Structures are given as C-alpha cells and as structure tokens.
C-alpha cells in the first residue's frame, strides 16, 4: 500500500542526477547545468553552470562552472530536453551586450512591483511583507 503514495521528498531527484537541468532561483536568475549531487534539504550541486539572461528575442550566457545552490532558494527545477534545446527561436548574443538591457528590465520590474505593493497596502488593506530576493 505504501508504494501507491507519491514519492515527493528530495529522494525523488535521484533520476535527475547527471542530467542537464534548468534551475530558477527566488531572485529570478536562471541557471543551466548538470546536476551532480543533492542532499536531504534539496541543496543542489550543478556542474558546467551557465546563467542565462533574456531580453526580447535574445539571450546571453555567463559561465559560472561549479555552483552550489541552497534548496530554499530553488523555485523551479526541470530537465532540459537535449534533442530540442537548439530549436529555441532565440538568438544568442554576447553577455556584455545584453546585460545593460537585462538590468534595466529588472529595475523596471522592481518599480512595478513596489507600486503594486504600495497600492495593495494603502487601498486594499494588505500587509507589507517579503524583502529583497523574496519575489516568489
């Protein structure tokens, strides 16, 4: 009977080891890398890690190498289909070309979110919560 209960602990990551994964963090960063290890707290070790940034129909990558991620910072973890990875209709550009646009997008999003939070606080009675890096 116990075998019918879904396996939802960090042990369910065992099938993902040695596969290329996408990890989205609480601060919005998107990391691509090969999952090499994890522990009971869902802390992850990614190898050959690159951080991708996006703007419009372009993306850029910044190489980080070996990357250790605390489990509490993971919003999404998904396997990348290697057969379809190159079919993405985006063009790759140099990181330094796209970085200013990406930073501007982040700043604009923060202004919008701050305004939204202020309206919810003042007009709708919501409380102020969260902090830096607590976007999810």
pLDDT tens sequence across 51-110: 999 998 999 999 999 999 999 999 999 999 988 888 888 999 999 999 999 999 999 999
pLDDT at 3: 55
pLDDT in tens, 4-14: 545 556 677 88
For residue 79, the cross-strand partners are 21
The two structure tokens encoding residue 111: 């202004």
Q: What is this structure's pTM?
A: 0.79
Torsional sign, CA 120, 121, 124, 127: positive
């Amino acid at each position: 009977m116990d075998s019918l209960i879904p396996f939802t602990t960090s042990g369910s990551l065992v099938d993902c080891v040695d596969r290329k994964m996408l990890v989205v963090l609480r601060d919005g960063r998107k990391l691509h890398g090969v999952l090499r290890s994890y522990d009971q707290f869902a802390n992850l070790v990614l190898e050959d890690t690159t951080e991708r940034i996006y703007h419009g129909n372009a993306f850029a990558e910044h190489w980080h190498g070996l990357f250790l991620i605390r489990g509490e910072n993971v919003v999404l973890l998904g396997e990348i289909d290697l057969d379809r990875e190159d079919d993405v209709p985006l063009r790759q550009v140099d990181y330094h070309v796209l970085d200013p646009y990406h930073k501007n997008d982040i700043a604009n999003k923060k202004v919008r979110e701050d305004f939204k939070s202020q309206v919810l606080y003042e007009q709708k009675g919501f409380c102020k919560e969260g902090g830096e890096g607590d976007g999810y």
